Amino acid sequence: MVEKFILAGDTALHVCDSEVGEQTILLLHGYLESMLVWDDFAALLYKSARVITVDLPGHGISEVKGEVHTMEYLADTLSAALVKLGVEQAYVVGHSMGGYVALAFAERHPEQLAGIVLLSSTPNADTEEKAANRKREIALVKSGKKELLAHTAPAAGFAEQNRRRCASYIEELEQMVFLAEDAGIVALLGGMICRADRNDMLRRLDKPQLFILGRKDEYISEAAAEKMVANHPQAKVVWLDNSGHMGFIEQPQECAEAILDFAGCGAQVK
């Protein structure tokens, strides 16, 4: 994997690229994460496909641009990044917030999309309650209390039964929160609050679609996930029975095999 900075549009973007493979898989991390969250998981993929990870602007060490990072801005930045990296089409895998970015990418740049994977993510817009929670997080960060997010959010992403086993990952996720600039966290929260509902777009999208969902996800309940699946019969679905919101860490083998099979790289993880 080659780590570097590129200029994607007018944004300095931190990327990691395995550079070799017939198919390209672009992995987009979630809120309060960075490309580092994919390190172990990407190793399960890059012998079968070209794998690209990025720090979405506002997290990791990519540039912060403005007070709000809309999903559209992030999608356009990724489009420019793929052009810069010489990638014509990619299978875009979006975890949680990364799924919101993947959906905006699918809407705005379908010619660059080989297929979309929503990994513990949803095409729904924020409910009023969710938007209010994000606004409270914005206030928390602006008041200098980011550490409260670091000490609560990472563990909540894992099924309770997996938290002890995944303790080292939870610690790494806590460090990612501290790494993110306060302004970047606020910008991404603002972008999630104002994002559009993309259910209709997804149903109309003439591209392969895969949902990977955890049965024990505390952010997207099993009932909510089942409803989403019922509303999108065009999508293939893989359930991770023993995972919460972080299925690619909790059940990495199953998750990797599902993505490689979807991308036509064979289901066997090498």
Domains of the chain: 2-262 (3.40.50.1820)
Q: Per-residue confidence at 126, pLDDT binned at 50, 70, 90?
A: very high
Q: Per-residue confidence at 268, pLDDT binned at 50, 70, 90?
A: low
H helices then E strands: how many in the chain?
A: 12, 8
Mean pLDDT, residues 131-136 taken together: 98
In this predicted structure, the answer to whether residue 270 has a pLDDT above a threshold of 80 is no
Cα–Cα distance list, 97 to 29, 100, 257 (Å): 7, 5, 22
Nearest to 26 by CA among 101, 100, 94, 123: 94
Q: What confidence score (pLDDT) does residue 22 get?
A: 94
In this predicted structure, the answer to whether residue 136 has a pLDDT above a threshold of 90 is yes
Mean pLDDT, residues 246-251 taken together: 98
Q: Per-residue confidence at 269, pLDDT binned at 50, 70, 90?
A: low
Report which of residues 120 and 269 the model is more confident about.
Answer: 120
- Return the structure tokens found at 173: 């996720």
Give the span between the Cα atoms of 117 and 94, in whole angstroms. Answer: 6
Mean pLDDT, residues 65-72 taken together: 97
Nearest to 88 by CA among 69, 113, 63: 113
Beta carbons of 123 and 196 less than 8 angstroms apart: no
How far from the centroid of its chain's Cα atoms is residue 209's Cα? 15
Instruction: Supply the mean pLDDT for the chain.
Output: 97
Q: In sequence order, which residues have a C-beta less than 8 Å from that of residue 55 and are 6 or more positions away?
A: 13, 14, 15, 29, 34, 35, 61, 62
In this predicted structure, the answer to whether residue 162 has a pLDDT above a threshold of 80 is yes
In this predicted structure, the answer to whether residue 267 has a pLDDT above a threshold of 70 is no
- Express each pLDDT in 20-31 by its tens digit: 999 999 999 999
Nearest to 113 by CA among 96, 97, 93: 93
Q: Per-residue confidence at 266, pLDDT binned at 50, 70, 90?
A: confident
In this predicted structure, the answer to whether residue 181 has a pLDDT above a threshold of 70 is yes
Give the span between the Cα atoms of 162 and 158, in whole angstroms. Answer: 6
Mean pLDDT, residues 196-224 taken together: 98
